[in-house]
Structure 1
């Protein structure tokens, strides 16, 4: 154990999406705990989410990144892939050129669909322009293979024009499938989508213009363009992510299935959902970007009808979910670092007691806490909350 390499926590990591409950602000706290229970086995990020831990630990250890949502695996692979950018020196220009050609053809095919945001508006005129775009969900775009966002999301989180560009970049990404650059392109597109969206940083619901001030705020985002943000992120990746000399695995599995195939002597970092709201409600749009499967969408938020429902978000199931996680970790003789909050679905003391009883006498369990400001991704009075983040650290004796 004395020869186990200490993981460096002081790593600058590019970020891709605005993520509710992201551990970016307290990642040093998390990595310190992982170092205390590090083995010569892999580190498994069991509920990877935005995959920032993969960004921190790339080129330091064998990473296993898992999340039930497919977009998380894309982000993890974007971080963990070993890049030789010199093998494709004109990559960014080539991607932008291909997407531009596709977007231009789309606009030319539908000249009547012109929604001008550069004019002066009354609130009523603006609302009418937005509503006309939302009605495109009933429009026939089938002459183009890539039209999902233009059809389903115009006038919601993005304008029609922004959606056409999202579709164009998504189509272009497929031209790079099977290359090391595929996931970097998709992740950079997620970044551009996030910073062009008029919502509050997630996709639970888009905002309506109900006043002059709210209209002007939404207009700020409607007047943005996808391409500059895409270029900015791709160039940042070229400057910050190079060779990764360590192997890695990424999975889109239920946490139980991932633990079931985990090698022995691993370290598991578990950051399950804390609240009753399901993450699939907040990030369905980027899940759809990755799947690009033309799902049935419903309600104002244009949600997928097959959204994942986590047992950690259901009060009647959360205790059993934790107990099963602890039992499977014990079965694999793994060490554990578990993040949880004093605002979670299960009381912290009850959670610690459950871990102690399930893991048993073969584990030494320690708890430590840190106070931090948790982002709720809102724009109003409740956009952040003071919470106490707890780490439950379980080391096999």
Structure 2
């Protein structure tokens, strides 16, 4: 499912903080799928950041799929490709000239704004709040939208200004946004294409460490209290380029080269993937569909826009893209038919389907259950239940997590 990345170097792995995480369920899913002895690859239809795919590295090769493009870059960097031989320090050295060239250009363009931001960060809470309120971005300024259009159409270094135009003085400081744009210019100019997914995954992961947000990017934090002011000042004065270097170390490959060679990464609607009839060598399908009415893509629009670097239409203080992905699993009027589509199309593949879904999911609100739908397409459905804590998505009030019963439904042909 959808998730917020927070990357840290820990035992050579990417540590991620999810909303709707399956990290706590990954071992249960792995053990369940192992018992099925899949005769072929395991498809993870809603793979997100890949905690389940990672857990299967000793069990079976995997096919990951997610509706968001930025997560696919992370999956490709971690689950595919030959063993890396290039040290991260060498990547930094390789990118540095292009990075510094674009950085100096943007520093000149935004010299006045950078000075204003520095003054605000050194000033009072009211000073910082005023700076954020007055800052222009594509969501509130026709001039910035015109500038974004010119940048989108540019084939030179002027193309690299998206983060500065969209996310500065909100999700990031202007200084960090400039560094982010300069780093992307360097990555796109690099001729070592085999390292591209690794570099982009680290670029996104490094950004996620610094993002000024409560647990998602539907909105950013404002200095409405002394503690929030302190947090923003501390975060905004950190270097994106430094975090990118750390993230290059953290975005490590999973499994051995033989396992990664047989893995595949898809981007798209899960129901489209299983209905297309294009999947081959499949032994089991695992599905972890959204379970609330929230269209989670709005929580990750910033990462998606950064990765795609496509200068989309953007609205409001949240700078949301206008073409966010939506799914029927998060619509009460469509969740039942979505489950029917899922079960119908996987049953045609003649392989087991394992579904993660909580007892409190939207499907129950629509008056249906997973077993009653699945039994229309599969010969047997087994239910395994586990206690879990679900994120409340960075809610400003109440507990950050709530108890829930997570179910694994094993649907057998």
Structures share a fold, TM > 0.5? yes
Residue-by-residue CA offset, 1:94-127 (whole Å, 9 max, x unaligned): 2345323322221133322212168542222111
Q: Does residue 108 in structure 1 map to residue 125 in structure 2?
A: no
Q: Are residues 56 and 177 of structure 1, via their aligned partners in 2, closer, same or farther at CA, if it must alter by over 3 Å?
A: farther
What are the equivalent positions in structure 2 for 1:224-373 lying under 5 Å apart?
224-237=238-251, 243-245=257-259, 246-260=261-275, 261-263=278-280, 265-347=282-364, 350-361=368-379, 364-373=380-389
Give distance in 2, aligned partners of 1:255 and 1:240: 23
Task: Say whether the 8 Å CA contact 2:79–2:253 is kept in structure 1.
Answer: no
Task: Say whether the 8 Å CA contact 2:120–2:127 is kept in structure 1.
Answer: no
**Stretch of structure 1 that moved more, 170-179 or 74-83:** 170-179
Task: Say whether the 8 Å CA contact 2:358–2:405 is kept in structure 1.
Answer: yes
Task: Say whether the 8 Å CA contact 1:118–1:223 is kept in structure 2.
Answer: no
Give distance in 1, aligned partners of 2:184 and 2:191: 11
Residue of structure 1 equivalent to 2:407: 390
Give distance in 2, aligned partners of 1:102 and 1:370: 51
Task: Say whether the 8 Å CA contact 1:57–1:63 is kept in structure 2.
Answer: yes
Task: Say whether the 8 Å CA contact 1:70–1:252 is kept in structure 2.
Answer: yes
Give distance in 2, aligned partners of 1:268 and 1:48: 11
For the residue of structure 2 that corresponds to 1:113, the secondary structure is helix
Give distance in 2, aligned partners of 1:248 and 1:177: 25
Unaligned runs of 5+ in 2: 1-10, 152-156
For the residue of structure 2 that corresponds to 1:371, the secondary structure is strand
Q: Does residue 210 in structure 1 map to residue 209 in structure 2?
A: no
Task: Say whether the 8 Å CA contact 2:201–2:251 is kept in structure 1.
Answer: no
Give distance in 2, aligned partners of 1:215 and 1:87: 40
Give distance in 2, aligned partners of 1:388 and 1:100: 51
TM-score w.r.t. length of structure 2? 0.85
**Stretch of structure 1 that moved more, 383-392 or 164-173:** 164-173
**Stretch of structure 1 that moved more, 51-60 or 63-72:** 51-60
CA-CA distance at 1:212 after TM superposition: 2.2
Give distance in 1, aligned partners of 2:253 and 2:397: 36
Task: Say whether the 8 Å CA contact 2:38–2:60 is kept in structure 1.
Answer: no
CA-CA distance at 1:218 after TM superposition: 2.0
Task: Say whether the 8 Å CA contact 1:336–1:393 is kept in structure 2.
Answer: yes
Unaligned runs of 5+ in 1: 1-11
In the alignment of these two chains, the number of paired residues is 384
Task: Say whether the 8 Å CA contact 1:134–1:156 is kept in structure 2.
Answer: no
Give distance in 1, aligned partners of 2:405 and 2:296: 20
User: For the aligned residues, what is the CA RMSD?
Assistant: 2.6
Give distance in 2, aligned partners of 1:321 and 1:236: 36
Give distance in 2, aligned partners of 1:240 and 1:69: 21
CA-CA distance at 1:34 after TM superposition: 1.3
Residue-by-residue CA offset, 1:248-292 (whole Å, 9 max, x unaligned): 221112222211322365211101101101111100111111211
Q: Does residue 198 in structure 1 map to residue 212 in structure 2?
A: yes
